[in-house]
Structure formats: structure tokens, C-alpha cells
Amino acid sequence: MSWVVEEWKEGLSTRALQKIQELESQLDKLKKERQKRQFQLELLEAALQKQKQKVENEKNEGATLKRENQSLMELCDNLEKTKQKILHDLQVKESQVNY
């Protein structure tokens, strides 16, 4: 089948055949370079997706920690209020005892 592909070149001058060979060689090099760059692009896209996933996971973790922190702050506030109430009750009872 390759003879059919080469048939169109019959009758061309040596200079034209040489130029065709140079162009075909250049085309092969460009195809290989394109494949190489496509592979690099795919690797970079995979790395980008991995980084995006990492950022998303960190955002989710940050949001979770923020909610947990808020919950702990509320718990601390409630404990402080309870402590103040107990201290007040203690003072009232001490006053009653002293009276």
C-alpha cells in the first residue's frame, strides 16, 4: 500500500523529492513534539486537578474548624455564665449564713 502513497512522487525532480523528504521529516518531528506537549499538558491538568481538590479539602476543613471553634466559644460562654451564677448563689448563701 505504501507504493500507492509514494506513487504521486514519481516524475518529480530530485530537488523536489529532497524538499518533500525534508518537509515529511519536519512533519514527523512536529508530530512527536505535539505528542510530547500533549502529554505534558495532560500531566499539568492532572496536577492542577489534584491541587484544586487539595484546596477544596482544605477549605472544607477550615469551615469545619471554624464551626467547631464557634461551638467551643459558645460552650465557654455558657460555662462562664454558669460559673458566674454559681458564684453569685454562693455569695448569697454565704451572706445568709453570716446573717
Question: Residues 21-62: pLDDT tens digits?
Answer: 999 999 999 999 999 999 999 999 999 999 999 999 999 999
Q: What share of the chain in percent tops pLDDT 70?
A: 95
What type of residue is 15?
R
- The pLDDT value recorded for residue 8 is 83
User: What pLDDT, on a 0 to 100 scale, did the predictor assign at position 5?
Assistant: 67
The span from the CA of 25 to the CA of 32, in Å, is: 11
pTM comes to: 0.60
pLDDT reading at 87 higher than 80: yes
- Provide the mean pLDDT of the chain: 94
Question: 11-41 burial by CB neighbour count: b if 16+ within 10 A, else e?
Answer: eeeeeeeeeeeeeeeeeeeeeeeeeeeeeee
Residue 52, phi then psi, degrees to nearest 5: -60, -40
